[in-house]
A and B are shown apart, each in its own frame.
Chain A
């Protein structure tokens, strides 16, 4: 199965001719030139620069299976990957800016924090995925939360925490996240230097010894879901210590960070009361990781309007996509100081690029004036554009 898809991927991701029934002989040549202009062969994000802006690069299947096995790419995008038989991301300015920053920051200083913000559907998650790929290629230890809404809004189960009074554990979600962490960092976790700094006593009979590999800690958390949430918190502490010691460099990537501060969740106590994220054990671990009291690390976070929209009925006129509003007072104080990175709407060039890509992939039937019409209708919003290309 993988071989077949790999074959198809190889067959379709390289330069190939458009069927002539769409084109005259003269236009075919022009189309080939444009074909090359919207794709780039550079598959290493470290080498992406301003020259590659508005071009599509393909994530190799092997990388994709490791990085995004358990989430990280938006649902609609996953469907597109399946239909197009390839994972192509557009190289856009926010991601390139962050990558350049990551290349040039001094890792001996406290962790730098980036906040990706933008209107709904502008491509924050995709930019985050791009940066993740860069981190993967450069052997960062990746702490990636694909979607905080999975914890807060789609929690599979909840139980009272054993170690802390009044706190709620999300067992299945925590275990699933540990699995995700293990898959992403499979290569790096083989490194014997990644050791736990202290003894951990789970119960009377179960314990994890000091200087045992982090992998054991994770395995324990996955196998024993009861302790998964606590395992996550301990893992967070250990990772910080390891980074401080310089054994590994870490990238923390969290999508939908503002959900950690939004008071309304879909997590309920036994008495059917809404649980504030403060009272969820998992929150503590991730908030710990996003502090600036450690080095050899970088933190990238996105803030999302959808969090608030889902809970509020109708559109609040005071609604804004800016971080200060979405994070709220506590979130802002926690993250301050940070580097805000705006994810803008499509420019005309990016719009043309994605339309060329869709036409090449046979997703969209071309007609004269298509680009201008769709640019006007979508207003440059990437998600809306995808929406309007559905029936074309």
Chain B
């Protein structure tokens, strides 16, 4: 019976190639979208996790300005808070008070035009303390990182990312040479190893200068953009966060039972926040892909209903030759299923190709992208296509099996 349905299906598709193709196209688009969303979504999450693994999840960040610890920071709303200062971070470095904090650094960030000889470029400048090299797990390719002494003396020294070195100095050795930031010379004392882009920023295109130098010479401020600390163990994060809140409220003159003028976050919660965002985006895209699939399914049903109207005589004839209602229904369901399944397979192949394209683009942009071609993605996609085919084939099949053999004669 199945062979019969397949044979008849093939005959009918051959007879209406363009119409069949256009119907399949609807499913192809939907399934391609599903495959890409599923695969790229997984790859993006993997990338995020990899970046976190590289930096370590035992980081705590203190952001100035009141904000819910799992909500957007105050700076996101354009609120500049000046209460978080260098002395706060110095207090956090006191081992006896904060035994679990290994390293702590205040940060200020800005973008400046940087020049070396005739080459001029805009780079992100970060003012950091000596601890930043351990907080961010930076690797020095050559020279050294900023020292506590540099910070103490407001030294005009800079550590540059690998890409900065390449762009400003080409094949020359930058160590000991000067670069001009805001018309002031900074001596290059270190070059970082190439690291690539992450959601922390592009390390390779960043220039690090002593925190105090950046505050006084580049920005003219005495507060911090944020502070970051590395904790000895992830299990101590919650307790340390509580201690940090307590200290900062005391230092900022805020009662302990009131909301602080800062927010304390850790990388795990930041990851959760990012994970929530990526999940929302993912679900949104899956919904869009789902709508595309439903539209594709309606296309299949539409074609089957048009086909039914065109084939009333054929169905009547088949019944007059002995076809049972079940045979006719099965034939319609098979046709609908095959349209959807072929769409699913082609959509999967197309999705596979586009995922590879995304990987090429991501890799070209220095992202450690890993394509995800889990068989479950393609099996799910083809499964969804099949279910769509069957569901949207039921109504036309129901109508088709009710055609009377007399229709073969009435249509004469």
A in complex with B: no
Give residues in B with beta carbon < 8 Å to A. none
Give residues in A with beta carbon < 8 Å to B. none
